[in-house]
Structure 1
């Protein structure tokens, strides 16, 4: 076949190695295609003798070894060897083939460096794929001279150094430098690419870019379909100009340090199919403008600080397939329309503060395979309609407030592999129907109120005792960790109980109703609390014994003390299930009546409130000699510690977030509750910070609950000097306006780092008058914490204006006349506006 010019044996099952003498009888060969086979060995060095060869395609084989140096002597137009096992340094001669139009060496093990002059010798190069190799060194700036390049992929290598100005490659359509150790200023990098008017794919993820996303990204190619810069440590806000990228289909910004709000202009990206902005520091609401994205399939906003409710209109996006809103601060209920998304495949709403019951319509999600609602505040029963979701593989309702029995219908979800119902209030028995789940690998029903025999059929023998621990009365004939069931005795006892209940239950119900009516009447007559030795536990609280608390706190040892006050002490501890808690032990020795009253008040208040910025109660332990509340552990301690310790510092944004958190908590207590609650003792030591520096208001020991129609009350209990409103200190008048005054005083303290009882203040000058005078004279730098605001600071004027506005709000809170003070609703609105202005600068 001496005149043969082209061989194409691609996409077959050819094996063994390429014959080394292939060149002898094929002197006219121009094209050789052996792609998608199972060829082994190396590329024969004799290929260098195929002097007329222009097209060589060895894509997707099992070839190994180095590239023959002789290939660089050919006049190749296309050279494709990706998806093999080739290794070693690429001969520099390969980058001197001026006739090359396509070079694809991706997905191999090539190492070494790229020649510094490579761009000067490749005037005709249109496609260069070097991704997924082990290339090191810098990207030669000369590459920008290959002006015909339309596709350039150098991603997933070990390239270092700065990123050249790729704006000279005006014909670029696809560009990837992701997964390298490249550095540079993201502002300059993205701005340079605005010259590439044909760019469709931009991938720069997992590099070491710095800086912020510039407004100039809105000037990128109108043809851009993918913008991927996740894992780059990019800071600042998402520019509103991103809404100009009208052709965008994929927006991937996850794992950065982005702050501020999700811009509503994203709603202009009508072609968008996937959004991932997870693992950032975004705040505010989920914009309803997302509902305008009729092609959106994947939405991932997880692991941020988003608040508010889930937009109702998201339930109208029939295109949605995957929704992940977990690890945020979302509240309220799941919109009913959400259950109409019949094509959903994954739904993750975990680690929020969502509440309400699950409706029967959840069964409409008939092809979903992953549901995670864990760590929320959902309640009520699980509807039996969940059994209609035959495609479900993983289901987690852990750490909620579900109750009732576990639905038998779970046993007909034949594809179920993982089921987690732990840390709820489920009662009754474990359904025998679960034995029919032949694919079930993981089961956890621990920490509930289940009773009866643990099933033994199906995969139950494979589940450890931890799957069933901490329940009401589970039993087993085969598991040593649980008592035997004693079936005969149990049946006999059940029969007797049923018989007795016919006679006992009616009078019990009558007594309960009578007592309930009596308590309601007494409460309407007076708002005062009578000291009592025992408190009924709220249904959702855990019953924790004194022995367990003693073990959790090392016998209430001094090394476990987190703080102390007039009420007693707070101890850090770890419960038997590994949960970190704070145990507030009331001192019954010195002032028993006051301590019991304080305990009763906290129990009453904490049993009625639920808000992400209020301390959460886990349980309590109460008897005649010992009373303690078990509270959510706050690893970052109190706001007071952060203000006055030399080892800690709160920057401008952190302080602003904290004051808004506290304001939201008070707004809920005053306006968002069934009846107003007045905290009465707001101060920095009663504001605790969780691991994410989110503020939680605590210590309701002297709080007051108002009946309907009440707005003020009188008390003899004094709050902390310096934070009390004038009418509280002189006349004992308690009102929501008193909390507003205390909040205003705390604002002053947060931004001046001066306590109202500081020795510099006395009869002639107070903290309030000191700050007021500085505002009037426009000299707030004289009173503001020097660590927070200095002339040499970047964005000094923006910070100064922010602090000045906040202190002005504080003054409106500190009006001596309670009727003229602003409400917490007004405070929240003003502070949110101040924050928006500050972030915009």
Structure 2
């Protein structure tokens, strides 16, 4: 069969199984499929389907099998697939054009039996702390764009595949706490961008490689592998000399007498040939890396080019200003729209802000973090080139008369923000504290996906969980008092969560004296009057069948927000628990809303 899937397919409300696999269907997956509430099996694999995986598929709560492999689907894996936890057993998204990370919500599908995400352009795979067994398949080396891979705390066994050397983008590899055996492949020395390695608590043996990234790893990477040997600084046994010992000193002397001249001749010949090959190989390798690593090579831009693409940094291209500079919109020569933050170097701390922004944004990747394209640094001019977000900021959507969005859209955006914070706090080798989370720093792309931006005053925590430095640069109303810590970000997240659903800034003129946004919300929960504080645009009328479910949802959100910004840092919820709570709130709201629709149809 050829052509597109018809949109009328959504009218087949009693459909239980849909098998369209192994055809030549093209076009998008229809969003109307979200109406097929009884659908249990959907086979659309091995076609030519294009576009994004629609959010509406996440509403099919009875879905047992979802096979979309072998198509041309692009974009990210929807985080809402975690909503299918009750029924889903098989998920196949292999051999598509999917990018970015695997959403953490996907691992809440606790009854899943088969997952296939191979042959995509994913950059982050975390399968740690499951009950995975068997060997690591050699085909994993095909994930050449993968940046982070964690298979820690499973029951994997066998050898480490030599094909790992094909994953040239790899920066983090965690294979710890398994039953892996054999030697560490020397081919892993080719992973020149590998910054974090953990192979501890396995049954590995033999020499630890010494080239490439292995020069930078400490003993911590190889703990509890008793048969490994290596350099003294790794605090393990030295590798035994494998040369054959000649017991006769006289015989050894005779052999060396006649062998050395011949050996030296061979060595000189081999060295000459090797040098020639190496020179040629270097040229090949440089070209190969240029082809495989376009995303890691920042585009070179000059001040003159930035001035040209923004029409001279004039008011017509100004997107906003604040912090340490102004942000302008520009279009590069290849047609890519970008946002360019130009730093005001007259302000104290601007140089530190610029260096921090480049250091942090240049080393992290997450679908909910703003992406850096390039930096331009001169003595009297510094700028950062970033992805342009066409839908502007969360602040714009909250306070503009021309924009309005519903509970579900706001929930999705806050889950996006929470996912970004989870990555910053727990997904990097050195935890990062954003320090200035607020609606104007949450930007929205074409699909209304939230991206956390502006790392001008972000801090690296290093070895501890805090920095003994009082934050004075963050925005009033959003910052937590005291030292820089991840719990400070949680305070800001709680305030933003309240603002998103009340449409009230923490600095609103109504909050004077002892009153505050936090106390206002807390009092409404105590008096069971949440309807008086939430954005009226979210509620509708009391005669609406979904009114009660909306009140219940908003009350749960406000309770979560208050637990994020408790006065005591120790009393604040962490971001991982916050994400879990937000997802539970969303799932319950979707179920309640679906029940309201059924009741309305029944009464009609």
Fold match, TM over 0.5?
yes
Cα distance, 1:805 vs structure 2: 0.8
Indicate how the Cα distance of structure 1 residues 309 and 765 shifts in structure 2: closer, same or farther if over 3 A, else same: closer
Structure 2 gaps, min length 5: 108-112, 151-159, 172-192, 195-280, 593-604
Indicate how the Cα distance of structure 1 residues 757 and 290 shifts in structure 2: closer, same or farther if over 3 A, else same: closer
Indicate how the Cα distance of structure 1 residues 429 and 276 shifts in structure 2: closer, same or farther if over 3 A, else same: closer
| Alignment partners' CA distance in 1, 2:573 and 2:471 | 25
- Contact 1:737–1:821 (CA<8 Å) still a contact in 2? yes
Cα distance, 1:554 vs structure 2: 1.4
Q: How does 1:193-272 map to 2 (within 5 A)?
A: 205-208=5-8, 214=13, 216-218=14-16, 232-234=30-32, 236=34, 239=37, 241-243=38-40, 258-259=55-56, 261=58, 266-267=63-64
| 1:331 matched residue in structure 2 | 124
Pairing 1:585–2:342 present: yes
Deviations 1:485-523 (A, max 9, x none): xxxxxxxxxxxxxxxxxxxxxxxxxxxxxxxxxxxxxxx
- Contact 1:613–1:661 (CA<8 Å) still a contact in 2? yes
Q: Which has the larger radius of gyration?
A: 1
| 1:815 matched residue in structure 2 | 566
| 1:307 matched residue in structure 2 | 103
Q: How does 1:295-444 map to 2 (within 5 A)?
A: 307-308=103-104, 331-332=124-125, 337=136, 339-340=138-139, 355=148, 361=163, 378-379=169-170, 429=283
Moved more, 745-754 or 675-684: 675-684
Indicate how the Cα distance of structure 1 residues 620 and 666 shifts in structure 2: closer, same or farther if over 3 A, else same: same
Cα distance, 1:634 vs structure 2: 1.4
| 2:578 matched residue in structure 1 | 827
Indicate how the Cα distance of structure 1 residues 268 and 206 shifts in structure 2: closer, same or farther if over 3 A, else same: closer
Indicate how the Cα distance of structure 1 residues 236 and 799 shifts in structure 2: closer, same or farther if over 3 A, else same: farther
- Contact 2:522–2:562 (CA<8 Å) still a contact in 1? yes
Cα distance, 1:787 vs structure 2: 1.3
| 1:721 matched residue in structure 2 | 476
TM-score, length-scaled by structure 1: 0.46
Q: 1:795 aligns with which of 528, 546, 549?
A: 546
Q: How does 1:500-515 map to 2 (within 5 A)?
A: none
- Contact 2:318–2:327 (CA<8 Å) still a contact in 1? yes
| 1:193 matched residue in structure 2 | none
- Contact 1:308–1:332 (CA<8 Å) still a contact in 2? no
| Alignment partners' CA distance in 2, 1:268 and 1:809 | 33
Cα distance, 1:353 vs structure 2: 7.6
| Alignment partners' CA distance in 2, 1:641 and 1:273 | 36
Pairing 1:601–2:398 present: no
Structure 1 gaps, min length 5: 1-154, 157-177, 180-204, 365-372, 381-400, 403-426, 433-444, 451-469, 472-537
Cα distance, 1:720 vs structure 2: 1.1
Deviations 1:562-591 (A, max 9, x none): 1111411111112233322211111113x2
Aligned residues: CA RMSD: 4.8
| 1:735 matched residue in structure 2 | 485
Indicate how the Cα distance of structure 1 residues 624 and 265 shifts in structure 2: closer, same or farther if over 3 A, else same: same
Indicate how the Cα distance of structure 1 residues 716 and 803 shifts in structure 2: closer, same or farther if over 3 A, else same: closer
TM-score, length-scaled by structure 2: 0.63
Indicate how the Cα distance of structure 1 residues 676 and 226 shifts in structure 2: closer, same or farther if over 3 A, else same: closer
More helix as a share of residues? 2
| Alignment partners' CA distance in 2, 1:778 and 1:628 | 49
- Contact 1:309–1:332 (CA<8 Å) still a contact in 2? no
Indicate how the Cα distance of structure 1 residues 641 and 658 shifts in structure 2: closer, same or farther if over 3 A, else same: same
Cα distance, 1:751 vs structure 2: 0.3
- Contact 1:238–1:258 (CA<8 Å) still a contact in 2? no
| 2:516 matched residue in structure 1 | 766
Pairing 1:624–2:379 present: yes
Indicate how the Cα distance of structure 1 residues 734 and 354 shifts in structure 2: closer, same or farther if over 3 A, else same: closer
Q: 1:661 aligns with which of 416, 435, 441?
A: 416
Pairing 1:748–2:498 present: yes
Helix, strand or coil for the counterpart of 2:447?
Answer: coil
Q: Pick 1 or 2: higher relative contact order, CA cutoff 8 A, min separation 6.
A: 2
Cα distance, 1:639 vs structure 2: 0.9
Indicate how the Cα distance of structure 1 residues 635 and 806 shifts in structure 2: closer, same or farther if over 3 A, else same: same
